[in-house]
Amino acid sequence: MTTIKDVAQRAGVAPSTVSYVLSGSRKISEDTRRTVQQAIDELGYHPRASARTLRSTRTNVLALALPRVAGGYRAVDGRFAIEISDAARAHGYDVLLMTAQEGVPGLRRIARSGQADAAILMAVEMDDPRIAAMLELGFPAALLGRSADDAALPWTDLDWEAAATLAVRELAAAGHRDIAYLATTEREIQAQRGYAIRGLAGARRAAPETGADVRVHQSTGDMARLARRIGTLLHGERPPTALVVQHVAALPHILAAVAAEGLRVPEDLAVVAVGNLPDDLGGQDLPRVELPVPEMSAAVTRLAAEAIATRTQGTSPTPPGHLLIPPAFVPGPRIAPPGPRAANA
Amino acid sequence: MTTIKDVAQRAGVAPSTVSYVLSGSRKISEDTRRTVQQAIDELGYHPRASARTLRSTRTNVLALALPRVAGGYRAVDGRFAIEISDAARAHGYDVLLMTAQEGVPGLRRIARSGQADAAILMAVEMDDPRIAAMLELGFPAALLGRSADDAALPWTDLDWEAAATLAVRELAAAGHRDIAYLATTEREIQAQRGYAIRGLAGARRAAPETGADVRVHQSTGDMARLARRIGTLLHGERPPTALVVQHVAALPHILAAVAAEGLRVPEDLAVVAVGNLPDDLGGQDLPRVELPVPEMSAAVTRLAAEAIATRTQGTSPTPPGHLLIPPAFVPGPRIAPPGPRAANA
DNA sequence: ACCGGTTGTCGAATCGATTCGTCGAATCGA
DNA sequence: TCGATTCGACGAATCGATTCGACAACCGGT
């Protein structure tokens, strides 16, 4: 293994000089700079991360806490991981992966052993124990998702409340008056996931705002029950002419259930999604309010980097930054107006 | 930050004694062991990873190289990342995430700066430049997927050739004589992905072995073209009574296209998948040859750990271990025999 | 010719844990 | 009681990079 001494020897200078060439923190004559650089290139020298970290107490690593796998694996989390990793590199950081299985003890271990400079917490819950742990440890952190106490740590999130409202508003604008809102699963709602709770709230708020009749239903992970539930909600009196789906992971099932009821999308039932479409949707595209994965990833990474910087400066009174991302509507295929079924009802 | 000195002081012993309590590499009296342990607990002491690494040249970190995002993001890769991360923890390792965007230079940087003890390479291609880089760097590595030169580094993979053959054989056993095999996309095949090439080979080998007429088709990422291609392949002379799909990511599209042709699954067309089903499949379950994600993750992690151990021992002549996992057939809904269409043809 | 001020480089201390050699105290046999 | 042996803990060197104080060499001004 080549060290800074090897480089120094080859270039005929002191190790400290090599260090200054690398960091640029002191003036070095152009001559020696070139000699040293050449020695570095010839030897293929890279500073040892451990030695650097030991001295400077900076790792240039972000810990990324992936969500709990309770409700199974969510495809979008993998995308977040990749996007965040690339964003981190752009800020000069590497990413250390932590699964939720390790939980708070895992984060504590990483923080105290100094393996990362900050943590990014995914799938934050309204009352998330990891937040208290980060504060107690004095460890910089940024949240992907908004918790109940949103002043404690920097966070970014889609404005789920606005997203739900927006979806309903678009349907109302197309003439729909009877709208069903299929929220996330009961499990997610009971777990107090922020996106679940706020989506629900946005859906409820949409009714008075648009004047439409918005009936809100919770979804379920049990696909057989979900199909039955959809059958029921489509056959009440004054059946809905439009459906908003926040439980996007189940969209294929849901569309299949709708088809099984003999309804065509969008002629008989307009469907709008809130959140990321699953990779594959039977060739169907839907109008939707999208989850801005790249923006959120970039934002949470930037917030983490800022949290590190401000801690280093000891500027504690600065309130942590936030970024509530406004929802954007992707028209996709134009929303159909209420179909013949509406006339029947 | 609490250091080993703080612990030593509190316990009234020398720092080296604390170190020996932690590592157990020398005999320590029960009395002092307890005193030291108590001090550690009270202070919540964790050894600094950087100091430890500097001294021992071991990081207890595995670098995980995620695949290139060329063909978009594949959901199964996220699952692998999580499974591998958990498996790594079980071996005492953390996982450093690297996206394909960083490529070989990224791996070189990690190896030379000593940020990881070994690398796990995902989505290995038949002729993968990363392999040469690892060998040149003398950096331990394990492959998820089998390359052309499979003696250079340890690897694990599903036996894709056997998997494809198995799927055809099961259909043949159910009485099917005219079978279509929809392989992976042209793009993957041209990129010389091992699973694509070997699946294709297995499908071709299945014809003579089973005596069935197996027609092999390549898939495409363009869903409109894919639908047309499926239409064509279903309407040749002697149309197939069964379909094997290796391009599982497109399954929802494919099933939709089949339905659009007026065919019911499985009554008119038996469908068997090779690989992991997408999270959601419109409520449909299919018989399939599964991709054993947990086994593969555990195996590749074990191989990486072994590669580290053998390098440390300097036992270079030991050939790297392999693990070719035999395919398993998951019956799911029983395969339907050839339907009325077969009689027509 | 001498002196204050730059400029560019060097040497040494430092970060925190590990590990080897050493050394005092306890134990045992003769 | 004394020397040999074992047991348990200590001190110091070490890993590789960073950083601060020091210090030559050079420059211009009086």
More confident residue, A224 or A211: A211
At residue A281, does pLDDT exceed 70? no
Pairing of strands B94-98, A270-274: unpaired
**Ranges of CATH 3.40.50.2300 domains, chain A:** 61-153+294-325, 160-291+330-344
A323 pairs with which residues across the strands? A156
Provide the pLDDT for residue B282.
47
Mean pLDDT within B162-178? 95
Which tokens go with B66?
């995620």
Q: B87 φ, ψ to 5°?
A: -60, -40
**Ranges of CATH 1.10.260.40 domains, chain B:** 4-47
Query: Residue A223: closest CA among chain B residues belongs to which residue?
Result: B283
- For B28-61, what is each residue's pLDDT tens digit? 999 999 999 999 999 999 999 999 999 999 999 9
Which of B57, B93, B101, B113 to mutate to test binding with chain A, by most A CBs within 10 Å of its CB? B113
Which tokens go with B240?
């197939």
At residue B344, does pLDDT exceed 50? no
Strands (E), chain B: 61-65, 94-98, 118-121, 141-144, 155-158, 178-185, 213-219, 242-245, 270-274, 288-289, 322-325, 329-330
**Ranges of CATH 3.40.50.2300 domains, chain B:** 61-153+294-325, 160-290+330-344
At residue B280, does pLDDT exceed 90? no
d(CA A274, CA A291): 8
At residue B314, does pLDDT exceed 80? no
- For B230-279, what is each residue's pLDDT tens digit? 999 998 888 999 999 999 888 877 887 888 888 888 889 999 999 876 65
| CATH architecture of the domain with residue range B160-290+330-344 | 3-Layer(aba) Sandwich (3.40)
| CB burial string A11-31: b at 16+ within 10 A, e below | bebeeebbbbbbeeeeebeee
At residue A252, does pLDDT exceed 90? no
At residue B188, does pLDDT exceed 50? yes
Mean pLDDT within B74-87? 88
User: Per-residue confidence at A284, pLDDT binned at 50, 70, 90?
Assistant: low
CB B135 within 8 Å of CB B153: yes
The CATH code of the domain at B4-47 is: 1.10.260.40
Task: Give the strand order in the sheet containing B141-144.
Answer: A322-325, A155-158, A141-144, A118-121, A61-65, A94-98, B94-98, B61-65, B118-121, B141-144, B155-158, B322-325
CB A36 within 8 Å of CB A11: yes
At residue B95, does pLDDT exceed 90? yes
Mean pLDDT within B299-308? 96
- CB-CB: which of B48, B59, B99 is closest to A85? B99
- CB-CB: which of B49, B66, B281 is closest to A115? B49
Q: Is the CB of B14 under 7 A from strand D?
A: yes
User: Per-residue confidence at A68, pLDDT binned at 50, 70, 90?
Assistant: low
Nearest to A302 by CA among A86, A65, A115: A86
| Non-local CB neighbours of A247 within 8 Å, separated by 6+ positions | A182, A183, A184, A185, A219, A254
Which tokens go with A251?
């969209």
**What fold characterizes domain A160-291+330-344?**
Rossmann fold (3.40.50)
Provide the pLDDT for residue B343.
45
More confident residue, A236 or B336: A236
Provide the pLDDT for residue B345.
41
Mean pLDDT within A178-193? 91
Distance from CA of B283 to the nearest CA of A (A): 5
Residues of chain A contacting B95 with CB distance shorter than 8 Å = 96-97
Provide the pLDDT for residue B148.
87
At residue A313, does pLDDT exceed 70? no
Provide the pLDDT for residue A209.
92
Mean pLDDT within A145-163? 93
At residue A70, does pLDDT exceed 50? yes
At residue B229, does pLDDT exceed 90? yes
Q: Average model confidence (pLDDT) for chain A? A: 89
Which tokens go with A51?
């030695």
Which tokens go with A47?
């500073």
Cβ distance of B85 and A75 shorter than 8 Å: no
Which tokens go with B251?
């399954």
d(CA B35, CA B17): 11
d(CA A184, CA A199): 8
Which tokens go with B333?
């809904």
Provide the pLDDT for residue B340.
59
Give the lowest-confidence range in A10-19, A249-258, A296-305, B142-151: A249-258
Nearest to A258 by CA among B250, B283, B267: B283
At residue A344, does pLDDT exceed 50? no
- For B148-162, what is each residue's pLDDT tens digit? 888 899 999 999 999
- CB-CB: which of A59, A81, A255 is closest to B81? A81
- For A73-129, what is each residue's pLDDT tens digit? 677 888 899 999 999 999 999 999 999 888 999 999 999 999 999 999 998 888 889
Cβ distance of B110 and A94 shorter than 8 Å: yes
CB A183 within 8 Å of CB A148: no
For A61-153+294-325, which CATH superfamily applies? Response regulator (3.40.50.2300)
